[in-house]
Structure 1
């Protein structure tokens, strides 16, 4: 099945909230790995808040795209094609998730300055990721219903 076939297939059918949540959970997994790693590294290294956020966002994209590429490479795609599929599948979802996630973290007083051993640090991070999941799920539902976003990966699922 080609990317265009996958898009056509999803346009013809109604997308369930379950499918959208599954796609968002996949995105959240990569984003959370990168986000948490970036926040931990930035906080432990005493980086300024802006540098910590930039590091977290960069790692969220790296791990988000990496997880998608891993699955489509496993399906036999070439590296260049796998990268294009990952970019098409995850970019909007990761962007929305990272904007929401980091906005929540920045909005909670003291969260960026809390140490790694505090409930404020870990609680804020968990809360921010949960809010990002809730906000991003309808975005993914809308995109999948139009043959975009995670719909392009479905052509390569086994």
Structure 2
């Protein structure tokens, strides 16, 4: 089956999803309420980090901020379950969530920049050029969040890139196929001035996270990825240092 015919068949199959989501994601009241939820979620995150979770490294604080900006209360719930130093114990599921978060923060930034720049500011239709460009930016941002910390730890650039390609490519690929595919399905004709443009972008990011989570959990399980560091151990280290002082 030719690729174009295959994609057309998928679009036809998922047409009911588009018919349901378009009016919701273009409704000013719905999106206004969602914006309030996001603001409240980010405020709660920052309050909790400042008051209770200063032990988290700056990079992780930034990662969690992006996650909550993308997914609002859903992102905050993931942070509460898997990202705080107060978690009772670590587990495969928590490590899978944190691993996905790491990928999600970078890829999401690449997707936002890609669609806002290519389909928005340059007024290009969401065609092959925009899709490929957004994919490329998502990979670039996603890899950067893996390569950057490794370089800071003294790992050579070549080794860091190999590690990023090996560990991050499967999850980035699945995440972006789901996220960009959802955005194209719901808002392929929307312009940057349309509420649907932003509503579909936000919705697609969360869809990408949902699809990438089982991939990351599996990669953690087989040892390809370690997941972000256990925050409970960071909290214990900080409390030990404070006690020593």
Task: Confirm or deny a common fold (TM above 0.5).
Answer: yes
Count of aligned pairs between the two proteins: 139
Contact 2:100/2:213 (8 A) holds in 1: yes
Matches within 5 A, 1:3-152: 15-43=91-119, 44-49=121-126, 50-108=128-186, 111-148=187-224, 150-151=225-226
Do the aligned partners of residues 131 and 57 (structure 1) sit closer, same or farther apart at CA in structure 2, a change above 3 Å counting?
A: same
> Rg larger in 1 or in 2?
2
1:85–1:153 CA contact under 8 A, matched in 2: no
Q: 1:153 to 1:22 in 2, by over 3 A?
A: closer
Unaligned runs of 5+ in 1: 1-13
Checking the alignment, whether the CA contact within 8 Å between 2:102 and 2:228 is kept in structure 1 is no
CA distance in structure 2 between the aligned counterparts of 1:35 and 1:66, rounded to whole angstroms: 14
Runs of at least 4 residues off by over 6 Å = none
d(CA) in 2 for partners of 1:153 and 1:131?
21
RCO comparison, higher one (Cα < 8 Å, 6+)? 1
Please say if residues 93 and 139 of structure 1, whose CA atoms lie closer than 8 Å, have aligned partners that are also in contact.
yes
8 A contact 1:89–1:153 mirrored in 2: no
Q: Say if 1:25 and 1:152 are closer, same or farther in 2 by CA, change over 3 A.
A: closer
| Cα gap change, 1:32 to 1:134, in 2 (>3 Å) | same
Q: For 2:166 and 2:228, how far apart are their aligned partners in 1? A: 9
**SS class of match (2:172):** helix
Q: CA RMSD in A?
A: 1.9
Are 1:15 and 1:144, in contact at CA under 8 Å, matched by a contact in 2?
no
With over 3 angstroms needed to count, the CA separation of the structure-2 counterparts of 1:26 and 1:113, relative to structure 1, is same
The answer on whether the counterparts of 2:99 and 2:227 sit within 8 Å (CA) in structure 1 is no
Alignment-derived partner of residue 4 in structure 1 = none
